[in-house]
């Protein structure tokens, strides 16, 4: 069955719901919709073709329920404006079409798609942030376009094929958070032949960099703390600095060599190995 053209917004709960996700840890989800102003609850006991919801998944989804994570992402103007620009540049492929937003968070990308003229947007997120996303959708009078589905992509049901899949799935070192698998799942389940995926590809580069100010702040700081010799902490400070990821903007002068391509991913042809 295919959904009616004029339908109300709803969210459904899928397996392992009640938890959410991202700090940069991150997400996944899929779902069907409900009748007027109703919440659709889905059976969390997955059929055999659906991967189980693990404790890691639950912790991941739970982390993305925190508003600070989403505020951090939205305030990243390079990230957010690049997505908005890409959506508007592909407006001819989005206007009048059906879109799935995998891991919708606050729903900002779904709203951009609605502004680009999408006929319907399925905004999916397993995190409880989906509840707030639904309120954002209603506040912007987009409930007739955007359907918020609360649950994992692997568990939700959509009763039609889609023309476009959009997702901000990238994590640290591109693949951290393992969210690409959810995009692949959405692609294989719902995307029409010739459909659009944003982003269509991704490339991971690696290059050595220097950052003297950060080194001084993180490591040299311990050499003299309020006149006390704490240089015994330097070794641990170096270890922590190397182990923990850091998202920063640096200048070209900080990059010591030409970047090397570590991994190229084509969103249309990559696949998820079967366990």
Among residues 5, 81, 161, 177, the one annotated as catalytic is 177
Between CA 122 and CA 101 the distance in angstroms is: 6
Between CA 71 and CA 251 the distance in angstroms is: 25
Between CA 179 and CA 190 the distance in angstroms is: 17
Between CA 14 and CA 40 the distance in angstroms is: 9
> Can 253 be counted among the known catalytic residues?
no
DSSP 103: T
Q: Which two tokens stand for residue 84?
A: 């908005």
Q: Which two tokens stand for residue 187?
A: 């692609």
199 preceded by a cis bond (ω within 30 of 0): yes
DSSP 160: S
Among residues 81, 160, 168, 244, the one annotated as catalytic is 168
> Can 177 be counted among the known catalytic residues?
yes
Cite the active site residues. 168, 177
């Amino acid at each position: 069955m295919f959904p009616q053209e004029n339908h109300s917004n709803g969210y459904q709960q899928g397996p392992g719901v009640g938890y959410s996700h991202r700090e940069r840890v991150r997400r996944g989800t899929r779902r069907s919709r409900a009748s007027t102003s109703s919440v659709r609850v889905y059976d969390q006991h997955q059929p055999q073709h659906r991967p189980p919801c693990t404790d890691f998944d639950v912790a991941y989804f739970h982390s993305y329920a925190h508003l600070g994570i989403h505020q951090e992402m939205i305030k990243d103007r390079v990230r957010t404006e690049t997505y908005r620009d890409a959506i508007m540049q592909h407006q001819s492929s989005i206007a009048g079409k059906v879109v799935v937003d995998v891991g919708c968070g606050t729903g900002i990308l779904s709203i951009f798609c609605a502004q680009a003229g999408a006929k319907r947007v399925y905004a999916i997120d397993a995190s409880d942030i989906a509840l707030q996303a639904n309120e954002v959708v209603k506040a912007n009078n987009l409930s007739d376009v955007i359907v918020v589905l609360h649950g994992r992509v692997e568990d939700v049901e959509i009763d039609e094929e889609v023309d476009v899949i959009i997702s901000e799935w990238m994590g640290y070192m591109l693949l951290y958070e393992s969210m690409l698998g959810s995009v692949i799942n959405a692609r294989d389940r719902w995307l029409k032949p010739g459909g659009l995926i944003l982003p269509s590809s991704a490339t991971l580069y690696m290059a050595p960099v220097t950052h003297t100010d950060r080194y001084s702040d993180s490591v040299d700081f311990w050499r003299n703390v309020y006149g006390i010799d704490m240089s015994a902490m330097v070794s641990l400070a170096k270890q922590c600095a190397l182990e923990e990821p850091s998202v920063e903007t640096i200048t070209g002068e900080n990059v010591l060599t030409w970047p090397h391509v570590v991994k190229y991913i084509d969103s249309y042809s990559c696949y998820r190995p079967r366990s």
